């Protein structure tokens, strides 16, 4: 397998993402496999870099749209789910995460993008959807043996409200789970107030979807086995 084949696959894949052409992107993935790239290489040398470049472009030059951003994460999810069973050695799952948009908030796009990034980095993710009650976050963390709860908020009043992360923190404390489960938050309100995540009871926040896997991995390393 030559580096040129890998580079061409990534270049073609990026073009498909910028064109928001899902069919073309999936066709390029299949061509890469047909040309001898392993499933592992396709994910870690095409799909993940493509997603990270898309997110980086959105932040640095504003030339990337939300639709392109979303498409990149959607394809990452789909391709990862399809190719993992084909790995020569089954990949080690980094851990379980439950994620949702907090109570009173009906914005789901940012959460979906984060899920794509996490799944591509071999986290097992349970998506709780939008407008999620605090109790549901904790119940799902327990039933899915998740070490991290991800809570998305796109509005200040849902981030800081009594049924947002603060209540999830209170429930963890009441149930003696604070050393076993961590909370990560994300969304627009946190970008304008760098200590807001602490004020709402979270352990950390991620500024972008691309940063989320590293932050989640760090939180998991802190949790008691």
Extended beta strands in the chain, E state: 95-101, 123-127, 148-152, 182-186, 204-205
pTM of the model: 0.81
For residue 131, which phi and psi values (nearest 5 degrees)?
55, 55
Name the residue among 11, 74, 199 with its Cα closest to residue 82. Answer: 74
Least confident of 75-79, 100-104, 151-155, 197-201: 75-79
CA distances from 217 to 75, 96, 212 (A): 22, 10, 9
- Residues 110-129 have pLDDT tens digits of 888 888 888 888 899 999 99
Q: What domains does the chain contain, in order, with CATH numbers? A: 3-86 (1.10.1240.10), 95-222 (3.40.50.280)
Distance, in Å, from the CA atom of 48 to the CA atom of 60, rounded to the nearest integer, reads 18
And the tokens for 183? 């909370």
Containing 81, the helix (H) or strand (E) segment is: helix 66-83
The separation between CA 181 and the C-alpha centre of its own chain, rounded to angstroms, equals: 18
And the tokens for 102? 């907090």
- Residues 99-115 have pLDDT tens digits of 999 999 988 878 888 88
């Amino acid at each position: 397998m030559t580096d040129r084949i890998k580079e061409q696959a990534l270049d073609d894949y990026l073009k498909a993402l910028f064109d928001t052409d899902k069919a073309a992107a999936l066709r390029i993935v299949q061509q890469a496999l047909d040309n001898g790239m392993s499933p592992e290489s396709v994910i870690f040398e095409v799909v993940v870099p493509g997603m990270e470049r898309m997110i980086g472009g959105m932040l640095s030059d504003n030339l990337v749209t939300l639709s392109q951003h979303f498409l990149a994460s959607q394809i990452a999810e789909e391709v990862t789910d399809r190719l993992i069973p084909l790995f020569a050695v089954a990949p080690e799952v980094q851990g379980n995460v439950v994620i949702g948009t907090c109570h009173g908030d009906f914005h789901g796009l940012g959460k979906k993008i984060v899920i794509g990034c996490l799944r591509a980095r071999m986290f097992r993710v349970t998506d709780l959807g939008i407008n999620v009650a605090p109790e549901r976050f904790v119940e799902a963390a327990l039933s899915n043996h998740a070490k991290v709860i991800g809570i998305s908020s796109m509005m200040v009043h849902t981030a800081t409200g009594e049924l947002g992360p603060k209540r999830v923190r209170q429930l963890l404390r009441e149930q003696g789970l604070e050393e076993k489960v961590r909370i990560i938050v994300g969304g627009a309100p946190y970008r304008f107030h760098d200590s807001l995540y602490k004020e709402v009871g979270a352990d950390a926040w991620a500024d972008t979807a691309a940063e989320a896997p590293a932050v989640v991995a760090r939180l998991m390393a802190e949790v008691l086995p």
